[in-house]
Every structure is written in C-alpha cells, then in structure tokens.
Structure 1
Amino acid sequence: MAWKSYQFDDFTAQALYNILKLRVEVFVVEQNCPYPELDGLDEVSTHIVYEEDGEVLAYARLVPAGKKYDVPSIGRVIVRKQARGRGLAKELLERSIRYIDEQWKEPEIQLQGQVYLKDFYGSFGFEAISEVYNEDGIPHIDMKRSAAETAG
C-alpha cells in the first residue's frame, strides 16, 4: 500500500497502462462518456497514485500553471469503484493540494469538477467560478481555491 507521485518519464509502460486503463474504465465506460482522454497534458503533469497489491485504486493528475489554466489544476480525480467509501478521495485531494502548495508554491488551484462533487470540493476550500455547463454530456462547474484556504 503506497501513495506515490510520478512525473511522466518515471512511469514504466505497465504503470502508465494501469492508470490509463482505470481512467477509461471509470470516465468512459462507467460514466458512459466518450471523450478525448489523451489530451497532451499527461507528459507535463505530476501524477498522484495510490496502489494496493499492484492495482491502482486512486489517482489524480496535477497540471502546472500555464498548461491548461493560468494556475495549476487538479484533474482526472478518480477512485476505483471497488475502493470507494474508504476515504481515499479525501486523502487524494489532501495530498494533491499539499503537493501543489509545497512543491509549486502557487497562490491558487483550479479544477473542473462534476457538479455532483461540488460540495466535496467545497470542503477543501474550492469555490465555484463558473455557471454549470455541459462537458461531454456531464454537468460540470469550474472551481478555484486560494492557497490560504485550509484543506479538509
């Protein structure tokens, strides 16, 4: 059982495959949402991964400022269906925020969240900065958090 952070070049082919497979299983298949999963941002991002027995159970992609938004962003937040309800999503967000705060020392973090998770992200200090909009058939909202906010 281990939390790790990776840069793209740190991945073995198998580790990258496992992450991409999970992202497709949840975002494309489970949520029935065909969308361009490979968007050119993986190569410049930091990847936060939690594994047990060689299986990825939780994952998030941290995109540096200037690549997607003017500020860093957290995206592709995911917990494997069988591992939900164990607090992994909360720990994943805490670790993602802490990484950006400590390693990148940026004043704000942005994310593009599914609307049903608005309160969850709000519990980490994220506030809505857009109206609800449709992204690939799923209602989303843009949210931002200042580094001065406290997580959890």
Structure 2
Amino acid sequence: MEFKLKRFNELTVEELYKLLRVRNEVFVVEQDCVYQDCDNKDYEAYHLFCEDEGEIIGCLRILNRGVSYEEMSIGRVLVKEKYRHTGISREMMLKALKFIEEELMETEVRISAQVYIKKFYENAGFKVVSEEYLEDNIPHVQMLYKK
C-alpha cells in the first residue's frame, strides 16, 4: 500500500478518474444517494489517497480555509468496503491532520460527518459542534478539531 498526497493539478488523468470512480462507487451507489459529487471544490483541494496494487482503496480531500468553512476542512473521506476496519481510515486521517498542522500551519479543521461514524472522528480528536441535520438525506453533524 502506498499513500499519495497531491494537488488537483498534480493528479494524472488516470488518478483523477480512479478517485472520481471510487467516490461514486461509495457515496452514490453503495449509499444509494444521488448527489453532485463534482462540486468544483476538487480544484482547490489536496487529495490524499491510498493505493493497493494500482487500485485506490481509500481517499479524502483537504480544503483550505474559506472553501467550505472558515476553517480548514476534510471531506469525501472513504475506504472501500473490503478494506474497512483495517486501520487505513485512521492512518489516512492522521496523515491529513499532520499535513494540515505541520505543512499548512493550521490548527483548526471543520468537517460535516455522517452520524454513524461520529465515533471515528471523535477518536481522531474532533468534537461535535452542531445539532444533527440531514445532508443528502443522511444524518450529519458538524465537528471541529483544534490542536
């Protein structure tokens, strides 16, 4: 397995296609949720992804302050079903937070988290800062990480 971190313009066409494909596989097909994944925020994002033998098995995107929230943001977090509960998501999240803190010199990260995985984010240091709300008909809460 190999982790890669790239800006949008550094992604190869093949990497971009694989990222969009796995996001659609998980967020649209698996979660049975029709929504517009290509929201133009990818242009502004750092894309962290994990490959195993050429297949993207996990990914997330890191957004600068002002793109989604006043704070930095992490979104589109996923791990393919057969790789879940292996520690990949935790490793990926810790790498993202370390990059934000050490390379971007930021100390706060806001996310919109699906309620069913709230505990995962709490274990990474996030705290719930909103009431539950529906986003694309899925219960979410906003969570904030402060170093």
TM norm structure 1: 0.94
In structure 2, the residue matched to 1:77 is: 77
Give the 3-state SS of the residue equivalent to 1:106 in structure 2.
coil
Match of 1:122 in 2: 122
The equivalent residue for 1:25 is: 25
Q: Which amino acid aligns with 1:126?
A: F
For residues 19 and 90 of structure 1, the distance between their equivalents in structure 2, rounded to whole angstroms, comes to 19
Cα offset, 1:18, TM superposition: 0.3
Instruction: Tell me the equivalent position of 2:105.
Output: 105
- Give the fraction of aligned pairs with identical amino acids, expressed as a percent: 38
RMSD: 0.7
Measure, in 2, the Cα distance between the counterparts of 1:81 and 1:11: 24
Q: Give the aligned partner of residue 12 of structure 2.
A: 12
Letter in 2 for 1:130: S
1:6-38 CA-to-partner distances (Å, cap 9, x unmatched) read 100111111100000000000000000111101
1:85-104 aligned at under 5 Å gives the runs: 85-104=85-104
2:27 touches 2:33 (CA, 8 Å); kept in 1? Answer: yes
Task: Give the unaligned 5+ runs of structure 1.
Answer: 148-152
Gaps of 5+ in 2: none
In 1, the alpha carbon distance for the partners of 2:89 and 2:107 equals: 23
Q: Is the 2:100–2:107 Cα contact (8 Å) retained in structure 1? A: no
Whole-Å Cα distance in 2 between the matches of residues 123 and 84 of structure 1?
A: 16
What is the rounded CA distance, in whole Å, between the counterparts of 1:71 and 1:130 in structure 2?
Answer: 15
